[in-house]
Amino acid sequence: MTGKPYTYALAIIVIQTVIASAISFGDALMYRPGQEYRSLNSGSYEIGIQKNGRLDVGFSTGEPVFLNAFPMVWIDGEKEAKAARLDGRLSNRFEVNDAMGRGQGMRIQYKQNLWTLNSYPTKPYLTVQSSYTNTSKKPVKIKQLIPWAIGEPKKGVIDLGENSLNSLILENALANTPAKRTTRESNSANMITVVNEATGRNLVMGFLTQEQSYGSIDIAGRDVDEKEPHTLDYMRATCTYDPPITVQPGETLFSEVLYLAIAETEPLLAMERYAKGVAVTNHIPVYEKTPPHTVWVNQGRSTADELAVRIDNTMANFTKTFPIDKSKQLVLELNLHNDTEFIRQLSDRVRQQGFQFGFVENPFAFISESSLVKEHPDWFLSIPNSPGASNRLIDVTNPAAQ
């Protein structure tokens, strides 16, 4: 391979984020009832492995995200990439402990094809990698490895709920040229963001590495099933080797590592988490550890006095629950209304209990009554079923909003 792929251009905003979620488990997710052979679960999503080695991925509540996913390989000399044959019965679990976190993984294989899935119980994402081992006696040239494919030649869907077909798609967000917003069909280098305004669900999909190949993501609604008119039905996460890589007998060629964020609630935070994943995977030292004792609080509709009492009670309960290990974080939410005297008193109150005092803010959420939202309503998306006042999110797919 001549030359090196262009490097990632990353603009990373460090935002300390703590997510607490209540988890409920529904029925097993299956594309073909009765065909699921094994499953791999995390706190927020479930991976169903069919006997033929293909995957169904959805929320633990049973809502689908990807149905009938599979890897592909393009051998030089053939007309096109072909689905890599796999066997769900030839699968095995393993423990995951890598730069993205700790969790459980699954290897699915058949002869020369291997598909590796890494899931992380407390994270909203999974990672995927495919590989090709030359089991023949002659060299084989590989043009493409595709670790994630939906549709053509296998039927499958990408489902973000109602009206997924018209989801907003942000492409080429890491390019030097302005990012482009599309619907229904998109091709993007390295990563892509999909936002369904109707449901508030979103996807961030991109390659964490770019060592031997050029990555691209294609997604589209092409031959949409009339019975499922709201879904997208085509995706390719492609690693292209230019020129093709020669794999000698007994050698193995690995695809780049693909990142799939399926359980994020806010698209900009999802994109930042992907950027952090790229950074930690490629050993870019840009992040610091969170302070050991931190109190973050949200005033909500409480008065200053009511909030102070609530904080006292919360800190007391926290100290009682964790009397020895105070490195655990106490997290509340706080909207302070520029009351500097109250901030000072609150800071003193928190410090007296042995905690550090700090602020955390979601810079992407706005209240509907704000002047910016009123002046530029097309810059924002509504947050379905938002319990708080900040119920508008910046539309990351709108160039003007960026």
Chain mean position to CA 86 = 25
Residue 252: count of CB within 10 angstroms of its CB: 11
Q: Band of the pLDDT at 56, cuts 50, 70, 90?
A: very high
What predicted TM-score, i.e. pTM, was given to this entire model?
0.67
CA 323 to chain centre: 35
Look at 184-188, 345-349, 377-381 and tell me which has the smallest mean pLDDT: 345-349
- Which tens digits make up the pLDDT trace of 118-141? 999 888 999 999 999 999 999 999
> Pairing between strand 185-189 and 191-195?
unpaired
Distance from chain centroid for Cα 33: 27
Q: Please give the pLDDT value at position 388.
A: 52
Question: Average pLDDT for residues 193-215, to the nearest whole number?
Answer: 91
Contact (CB, 8 A) for 347 and 336: no
Tens digit of pLDDT for each residue in 286-328?
545 544 555 555 555 567 677 778 777 777 766 665 555 545 5
* pLDDT: which is higher, 240 or 7: 240
Question: Quick check: 84 pLDDT over 90?
Answer: yes
The per-residue pLDDT for 216 is: 94
Asked if the peptide bond before residue 153 counts as cis, ω within 30 degrees of 0, the response is: yes
CB 144 within 8 A of CB 238: yes
Residue of 383 and 162 predicted with greater confidence: 162
If one counts every other C-beta atom within 10 angstroms of the C-beta of residue 141, the result is: 15
- Residues 6+ away with beta carbon under 8 Å from 214: 5, 189, 239, 240, 242
Burial (0-12, 13-18, 19+ Cβ within 10 Å), 340: exposed
Q: Given its phi and psi angles, is residue 311 left (phi above 0), alpha (psi -120 to 50 degrees) or beta?
A: alpha
The two tokens of residue 167 are 């989801």
Q: Give the C-alpha separation, 202 to 190, whole Å.
A: 17
Rg, the chain, Cα only: 23
Q: Which helix (H) or strand (E) holds 314?
A: helix 304-321
State residue 22's pLDDT score. 24
Cβ atoms 47, 28 nearer than 8 A: no
CA–CA distance, 168 with 166 (Å, rounded to integer): 6
Distance of alpha carbon 230 from alpha carbon 164, whole angstroms = 5
pLDDT digits (tens, 9 = 90+) for 270-290: 888 898 899 889 887 654 554
CA angle 311, 312, 318 (to 5 degrees): 85
Residue 160's Cβ-side half-sphere holds a number of Cα atoms within 13 Å equal to 27
Q: Which helix (H) or strand (E) holds 56?
A: strand 55-59
